[in-house]
Structure 1
Amino acid sequence: MEARLRCPRCGYRAKSGSRCPACGFPLVLEPPGRLKIEVREPSMWRYSSAIGVAKGVSLGEGMTPMRSVGGVLVKDESRNPTGSFMDRGSAVLASAYPGDRAALPFMEDFTASIATYLSAKGVSVEVHVDPAEATYADFILLAASPSVSIRFGRAGPFDLEYGDPYFLAGVKTIAYEIFESARRIDSVAIPLERGLLALAVHQGFRELEEWGLMEAPRLILATHRGAASSDIALWLREKGARIEEVEPAEAAKAAVYLARRGIYAKPLSAMAYVAASSDKNAVAVVTGTGLRQLGFTGRRRGGELQRRILGVLSGREMTAYQIWEALGGAASLRGVYKALATLVARGSVTYRYKARGRKKIRVFSAPKGIDKNE
């Protein structure tokens, strides 16, 4: 895959790769043009003009809700199809991927997300797992998918990895959505691990500022007390970001507080809420939920919708839009896409592509023998 890539730190320009050959910093994909929002598109692909990749696969990612909780605006990324912000990056990365097979390393959240999107595109996925490092719930989720093969041991090189410039191009749409929803904000709090999420959001706000659309808010990078700062975090601090350490007890209390208000945040995501609480006019990005890993997400939040979809599909093929119409307003179109993503990953629903004029559309069906009450 060739594209216009740039190193944010030293300015080096490249056509391929994920790391700058001059300084080792992550490369970012430059937008092909100024942002033009496609207001009728109900997903993050409304920002296609600035992503730089045509939509090749989508499960309804993006356009996640943002609401006020205790005086803090919370951007709830757990509402993405696999329960994580990773789906934004996976949608772009899978759309740009030209192959029909892909070897992936095992990484919590990322691998489940990208494997789901590649499978939805019809790509065969091979995941290499180190049993000593595997998260059991994620491993079982992947192993249960009929389109994923498991290989033990980390035998590289891999075709796709976390932090790819195409992946970051999808993640930066978080900034675009915050701009659309709440243009007058002073700061955005983001959980900090490797720093790639923060880098992507920084890139999104930098672009918006360069286009004269908004003044970029200050980033607050929330991290564990005593944790070492990554190279990316230190560079972002030079650019004006603030690194804020959060005590584990504070994060746990925040996670409980959010859960009681319908937002199921991982402890690291809850740290962003704690950090945002100390600022006025702030947004906290809740990056994902752990409930998906335990199988709670589909059963508690989408189980009934999934059962209804299986009933609608009984004995026929339908597009996602036709399913949504048949449900008679019982769910949003984005909710139908999310439920279908779960059913496809579980093997309860299959799909194929059909030609409609000059377009290729995807139709879903429920294989015989699938119990709609499963």
Structure 2
Amino acid sequence: MDEQTVATTTAFEALRCVDCDASHDPAEVTHRCPACGGILDPEYDLDAVTVTPETLTARPFESMWRYEELLPFPRSAAVSLAEGATPLLECPSLAEEMGVGAVYLKDEGRNPTGTFKDRGQSAAVTAASQHDADEIALNSAGNAGQSAAAYAARADLEAHVFLPDRAGFTQQAMTEVHGGDLRTVAGEITDAGSAYWDAVEGPSDEDTAGTESGGDPEGASWYSTKTFVTPYRHDGKKTMGHEILEQLDFRSPDAVVYPTGGGVGLLGVHKGAHEFRELGFVDDTPALYAAQAEGCAPVVDAWERGADEHEAVPESEITTACNGIAVPDPGASPLLLDAIEESGGGAVATDDHAILDAALTVARTEGIEIGATCAAAVSGAFALADRGAFGADDTVVLLNTGAGNKDVDTLRAHLGERETAGADQTETGA
């Protein structure tokens, strides 16, 4: 590959391996560390960043690429659908109920495909385009697959998307509407991941025992936009952290509560906040809280045990309907747990009933539609408030990572169940 074909920003220096600390040229290395197979993280020379809070404030608030000096690729090279620049909405009813100074909801449901995944796919598909890819591929719980198909269409690339059959109808349908090659797999996101790797690397020797095989696997030339296989998805999502701090007039909130599956978005917020602090834009960074569903909470379990890494949840033990955060084996949990500890935050799990109730509460008291899965941030924040995690004057930011209209069946079904239960209690005098 010709290095001159890759357009990068001035401050983007290298891809740094978080495991072995090796540094790699982003024009030559595209995915995992060639030295040890570790996760690569875009590294920046912040001294070369000339932007200031004043110059940022003067720019139109129209997409995440307004932070191009802190992204790997310039705006001129971006594969973009105007992702980012989402509102930070004050929620006084939630603040009163939690007993805190202020609650804000960062509404990522306003993104082009209705999810924060658009930030990561914009960055990852831009990288694919810069590296002259023809086809991208990934497995996903649902939203990232839909997003990847949209951004691949924008870049005139083919997208191969592996989804579990429990993925939402909207995500499956829109993946195909965007022209993606949709492949549904029975089971969970881990099963979709196995199918993805079989296509990319070929089935294992155990799978092919007694059969003839030869030639390259089908997906040998596919460019991966999988979480932490590409170095760029979490880097695009750090712009959520940039935006939250800018929208609060360059003041850090006391806490950020994030609905957590693989934890990529929370790590992105952590990185974005630290960049702004190192640049002198803010004085502090927020405490980060991972919110999960009790039916699949490997990060919370690891945090409560004081472990450095999670233990995978067996698929037979997954009991949550919150598909978007039902990630039984989050590969970057050591990074996530470190970020939570460094920030002074924590982790919390609530049951599906509390999560869905929280989605209805936000819709009825604040008028904001949030995703069923995303409401784990709200129910988690209520639980944290009950535990005394927040002070009376604290500012708390909740992330709504996806649009409520992707989960209309789940939300309406829960509403019906709740109304039926209420009617039954009225009839029995309970």
Tell me the TM-score normalized by structure 2.
Answer: 0.61
The 1:135–1:46 alpha-carbon spacing in structure 2 relative to 1, beyond 3 Å, is same
Backbone CA RMSD of aligned residues: 2.9
Distance 1:44 1:206 in 2: 17
Which residue pairs with 1:116 in the alignment?
150
The 1:219–1:255 alpha-carbon spacing in structure 2 relative to 1, beyond 3 Å, is same
* Secondary structure of the structure 2 residue equivalent to 1:125: strand
Which residue pairs with 2:15 in the alignment?
5
Which residue pairs with 1:34 in the alignment?
49
Shift of 1:220: 1.3
Distance 2:136 2:70 in 1: 28
Structure 1 counterpart of 2:254, from 168, 174, 186: 186
Structure 2 counterpart of 1:14, from 24, 48, 53: 24
* Secondary structure of the structure 2 residue equivalent to 1:221: strand
Structure 2 counterpart of 1:102, from 117, 129, 135: 135
The 1:243–1:96 alpha-carbon spacing in structure 2 relative to 1, beyond 3 Å, is same
Is 2:136–2:157's contact at 8 Å kept on the other side of the alignment? no
| Corresponding letter in the other structure for 1:162 | T
Structure 2 residue 357 is the aligned partner of structure 1 residue 243: no
Tell me the TM-score normalized by structure 1.
Answer: 0.70
Larger fraction in helix: 2
Shift of 1:129: 5.3
Distance 2:377 2:74 in 1: 32
Shift of 1:51: 0.7
Which residue pairs with 2:231 in the alignment?
165
Which residue pairs with 1:52 in the alignment?
72
Which residue pairs with 1:65 in the alignment?
87
* Secondary structure of the structure 2 residue equivalent to 1:262: coil
* Secondary structure of the structure 1 residue equivalent to 2:82: coil
Distance 2:257 2:274 in 1: 16
The 1:149–1:4 alpha-carbon spacing in structure 2 relative to 1, beyond 3 Å, is same
Shift of 1:286: 1.0
Structure 2 residue 405 is the aligned partner of structure 1 residue 283: no
* Secondary structure of the structure 2 residue equivalent to 1:75: strand
Distance 1:271 1:208 in 2: 27
| Corresponding letter in the other structure for 1:50 | L
Shift of 1:116: 0.3
Shift of 1:18: 4.1
Structure 2 residue 330 is the aligned partner of structure 1 residue 265: no
Which residue pairs with 1:148 in the alignment?
180
Larger CA Rg, structure 1 vs 2: 2
Is 1:103–1:159's contact at 8 Å kept on the other side of the alignment? yes
User: Unaligned regions of 5+ residues in structure 1, if any?
Assistant: 296-374
Shift of 1:121: 1.9
Structure 2 residue 298 is the aligned partner of structure 1 residue 228: yes
* Secondary structure of the structure 2 residue equivalent to 1:267: coil
* Secondary structure of the structure 2 residue equivalent to 1:239: helix
* Secondary structure of the structure 2 residue equivalent to 1:4: strand
Distance 1:19 1:100 in 2: 16
Deviations along 1:9-60, whole A, 9 cap, x unmatched? Answer: 6644333354456776532212354262361352111100111212322212
Which residue pairs with 2:426 in the alignment?
none
| Corresponding letter in the other structure for 1:116 | A
How many residues end up aligned between the 2 structures? Answer: 294
Deviations along 1:276-331, whole A, 9 cap, x unmatched? Answer: 45232111111112523769xxxxxxxxxxxxxxxxxxxxxxxxxxxxxxxxxxxx
Which residue pairs with 1:252 in the alignment?
356
The 1:224–1:21 alpha-carbon spacing in structure 2 relative to 1, beyond 3 Å, is farther
The 1:93–1:212 alpha-carbon spacing in structure 2 relative to 1, beyond 3 Å, is same
User: Unaligned regions of 5+ residues in structure 2, if any?
Assistant: 1-5, 96-102, 185-194, 201-218, 300-332, 410-430
| Corresponding letter in the other structure for 1:227 | A
Distance 1:150 1:237 in 2: 35
| Corresponding letter in the other structure for 1:269 | C
Is 1:189–1:282's contact at 8 Å kept on the other side of the alignment? yes
Is 1:176–1:204's contact at 8 Å kept on the other side of the alignment? yes
Distance 2:70 2:81 in 1: 20
Which residue pairs with 1:357 in the alignment?
none
